[in-house]
Structure 1
Amino acid sequence: MKGVISIQSHVVFGHAGNSSAVFPMQRMGLEVWPIHTVQFSNHTQYQQGWKGRGFDASDISDLVEGIDNIGKLKDCSAVISGYMGSAEQCISVAKSVEHTKQKNPAAIYVCDPVMGDPDKGCIVAEGVQEHLMETLMPMADVIVPNQFELSQFTGMEINSVEDAVHACEKALQMGPKVVLVKHLHSLSKDLFTMMLATSRACYLLQRPILDFDKQPVGVGDLITAVYTASLVNGLTPSTAFKHANDAVYGVLKATEEVNQWEIQTILAQHEFVEPTYDFPLLKVK
């Protein structure tokens, strides 16, 4: 069975980081091998705070080496990286991706370049953003930035669909083969907009923005996970893009219906296999 190494944060309660990513990929038929960069009691938007700590960068390399020692790294079809707790962890991820690709040249690396959002209480350590932009994003097969992260990577301001297309095109010239922008917030106040760009085409997907008292956390991690699992399962980049959008909207809709702000990954698990909703995929270039 195909495996995925997922290197990102973890919360004990709720769904963010690996807690948002692992189960959906398992539900889609993959073996998932999580490596945690930090472990917190809960995500950082709770007013009461959180408990927990980060892990040493060497843990990442050691765990990947351990998987190789038992002869299983060759079965890894994808490596995902998300929230990094230190710049040193970025270096360990780069080495681990190279190690994995030595054992399985067909493995893909999917980088979700979390650069922090102070408004949400998400802070990254010194040096993380630089390592993401200079090392991890250029070496990735797929990057999954939000609008801010894409602008930082490319040095381009985004205020229109045309701007977004041009920024994606520049990003593709910088190393990645696929760019999935998980939220283009400046394009519409009424619709949640995502974009996918490859060397062949550029696509846009829009869906309704749901009304939450507090915005759910871990949605970006979920998008990355479902998209990666779809690619590993053999879907084309554009079909995987549509599947991820439809499935994640279904999970958010179920979350809204039960009046929660922790995304209802378990309740809505059927969405990962057969999404309820069907949004049109628009080719913009």
Structure 2
Amino acid sequence: MKSIISIQSHVVYGHAGNSSAVFPMQRMGLEVWPIHTVQFSNHTQYQQGWTGQKFGSDDIRSLMRGLDNIEKLSECGAVLSGYQGSADQCRAVAEAVSLVKDRNHSALYVCDPVMGDPDKGCIVEDGVKEAIRQNLLPIADVIIPNQFELSELTGVKIDSIYDAVTACKKALDLGPKMVLVKHLHALTDGAFSMILAMPKACYLAQRPSIDFDLQPVGVGDLISAIFTSCLVKNMSPVTSFRHAHNAVYGVLEITKDYGTWELQTINAQYEFVEPTHEFNIVKIA
């Protein structure tokens, strides 16, 4: 059985970071080895605040040495990274990817370059954006930014689907083989839009937007997890894109039915395996 190392944040209550990503990947039949960059009581959108701590970058290095010591890294099919609490954590992730690829040359590295969004702006510590661009982007097989993060990485202002494709092509020139834009908010037609870009083709997926009083947190982490799992299970990129798009819509629909903003990851778990909705994927370039 192939395994995935997931290096990102963790919350005790709710679903964000590894708390959003680990169970769906397990439910899809994969072993997941989580490494937490931070551990908080709850995600940071709660008005009451949160408690917890950030882990040091050497914790990542130490855990990777331990896995290597028991000779398990050859079983790792992918490294998935999300929120990083410092620039040196980004460098530790790069070292982890190098070690895994040395032990298994076919392993993938999927980078979710968590930096923020248009409403909150950049939410990471000073130096993290630069470290993602310098240390992680060039070695990634796949990157999964939102529109804000794609603009931050490429310097391309995105106001249209043409701009988005231009930014994706520029990102591909920087190293990755695939770019999945997990939320393209520039298209204001009442739909939620995602793009998958590869060197020879780009695809657009759209589904109805679901209105929440407070937007659920961890949706991007869920998209990254499901897409990574599909790739590790040897689905084609386009099939993986379609599966992730459909599954996440089902999870959000069920979350809405429960009247909460915390993703209903457990109640909607069948969506990860067999999504109940099917939306068209359109080739756009």
TM above 0.5: yes
Residue 96 of structure 2 is matched in structure 1 by: 96
Q: Structure 1 residue 123: deviation in Å?
A: 2.4
AA of the residue aligned to 2:41: S
Q: Structure 1 residue 229: deviation in Å?
A: 0.1
Q: Deviations over 1:105-128 (max 9, x none)?
A: 100000000113484597211110
Listed as ranges, the matches of 1:19-168 within 5 Å are 19-117=19-117, 119-120=119-120, 123-168=123-168
Where 1:133 maps in the other structure, the secondary structure is helix
Where 2:68 maps in the other structure, the secondary structure is helix
Q: Deviations over 1:61-81 (max 9, x none)?
A: 111111111111000000011
Deviates more, 1:1-10 or 1:62-71: 62-71
Q: Structure 1 residue 22: deviation in Å?
A: 0.1
Where 2:9 maps in the other structure, the secondary structure is strand
Residue 249 of structure 2 is matched in structure 1 by: 249
AA of the residue aligned to 2:257: E
TM-score using structure 2 length: 0.98
AA of the residue aligned to 1:140: A
Contact (CA 8 Å) 1:42, 1:51: kept in 2 or not? yes
Report % sequence identity: 65
Residue 279 of structure 1 is matched in structure 2 by: 279
Where 2:116 maps in the other structure, the secondary structure is coil
Q: Which runs of 4+ in 1 moved over 6 A?
A: none
Q: How many residue pairs were aligned?
A: 285
Counterpart Cα distance in 2 of 1:20 and 1:147: 20
AA of the residue aligned to 1:184: L
Contact (CA 8 Å) 2:117, 2:146: kept in 1 or not? no
Change (3 A) 1:149 1:121: closer
Counterpart Cα distance in 2 of 1:272 and 1:60: 28
Counterpart Cα distance in 1 of 2:232 and 2:212: 32
Counterpart Cα distance in 1 of 2:273 and 2:118: 34
Where 1:15 maps in the other structure, the secondary structure is coil
Aligned-CA RMSD value: 1.2
Change (3 A) 1:12 1:243: same
Where 2:188 maps in the other structure, the secondary structure is coil
Q: Structure 1 residue 200: deviation in Å?
A: 2.1
Counterpart Cα distance in 2 of 1:46 and 1:118: 19
TM-score using structure 1 length: 0.98
